Amino acid sequence: MNALTNLGLNVVKANVYLDSSGKHNKFAITKTSTGRKVDDPELLEAIRLTIINNLIEYHPVTVDESSSQLAMGATFGAEPPTQVVDVDIATHIYVNDDGADKSLLVVETADRPGLLVDLVKIITEINITVQSGEFDTEGLLAKAKFHVSYNGKALIKPLQQVLANSLRYFLRRPTTEEASF
């Protein structure tokens, strides 16, 4: 924790759990100065190296795990898969009223590059205004929440259905357009 704090980071959430494969620690961190998610490649590399150095210092490496493997990002005791694994993530779309002037759109689907841009593009192409939004990923799952409106009002039920159907159709398409990157 001190090492992360020294990098100017805030741990906003920590999750520690135990399962059959061992103990797992998961941290959600933000930059202390901005409170925003870390996306700077140099800072991400500094975080990675700090964690590796702390593991080497406080949890000495055994014969099976060399420090060079750790530096290259190798996993503990697990070999990377030799074939591509196709994961099927179900898409869920919900649209509900969220007051008189806006509706809440929730989309859960498989994450991919350009997804957020594509979602906003589809929503705005059917003349729905995106007032605000949140986007998060958990592994391969992308979760998006948008406050949307039509002419300054919450979406009526038929328009909610049009929006949900448009997004379902778009998200079923197997390929990503190059322009969405």
Q: Do both 102 and 66 map to the same domain?
A: no
Range in 83-97, 126-140, 152-166 with the lowest mean pLDDT = 83-97
First to last CA, the chain: 35
Q: Compute the distance between CA of residue 50 and CA of residue 164 in angstroms, rounded to an integer.
A: 44
Predicted TM-score (pTM) of the model is: 0.50
Look at residues 53, 34, 31, 33 and name the one whose alpha carbon lies nearest to residue 42.
31
Q: Do both 176 and 105 map to the same domain?
A: yes
169: domain CATH number is 3.30.70.260
What is the arithmetic mean of pLDDT over 1-25? 76
Q: Compute the distance between CA of residue 60 and CA of residue 177 in angstroms, rounded to an integer.
A: 47
Q: Do both 111 and 168 map to the same domain?
A: yes
Q: Is residue 105 part of a domain?
A: yes
For residue 138, what are its two tokens? Answer: 């958990």
DSSP helix/strand/coil, 156: coil
Q: Compute the distance between CA of residue 44 and CA of residue 58 in angstroms, rounded to an integer.
A: 21
Domain that holds residue 119: 92-180
Other Cβ atoms closer than 10 A to 128: 23
CA atoms within 13 A on the CB side of 7: 21
Whether the pLDDT of residue 36 is over 70: the answer is yes
pLDDT (tens digit, 9 = 90+) per residue, 102-123?
999 999 998 888 888 889 999 9
User: What pLDDT is stored for residue 129 in this prediction?
Assistant: 93
Q: Do both 50 and 116 map to the same domain?
A: no
Amino acid identity at 180? S
Q: Quick check: 170 and 118 in contact, CB under 8 A? A: yes
User: Residue 132 pairs with which residues in a beta bridge?
Assistant: 147
Q: Is residue 167 part of a domain?
A: yes
Q: Is residue 121 part of a domain?
A: yes
Q: Do both 100 and 171 map to the same domain?
A: yes
Whether the pLDDT of residue 9 is over 80: the answer is yes
Q: Is residue 77 part of a domain?
A: no
Q: Do both 171 and 110 map to the same domain?
A: yes
Q: Do both 99 and 171 map to the same domain?
A: yes
Other Cβ atoms closer than 10 A to 144: 21
Q: Quick check: 177 and 163 in contact, CB under 8 A? A: no
Q: Do both 26 and 105 map to the same domain?
A: no
Q: Do both 118 and 58 map to the same domain?
A: no
pLDDT (tens digit, 9 = 90+) per residue, 38-84?
877 788 778 877 777 776 776 655 434 444 454 444 444 444 444 44
For residue 34, what are its two tokens? Answer: 């901005």
Q: How many domains are contained in the chain? A: 2
DSSP helix/strand/coil, 155: coil
User: What pLDDT is stored for residue 173 in this prediction?
Assistant: 62
Q: Do both 44 and 99 map to the same domain?
A: no
Q: Is residue 82 part of a domain?
A: no
Q: Do both 111 and 60 map to the same domain?
A: no
Q: How many residues are recorded in the chain?
A: 181
User: What pLDDT is stored for residue 95 in this prediction?
Assistant: 94
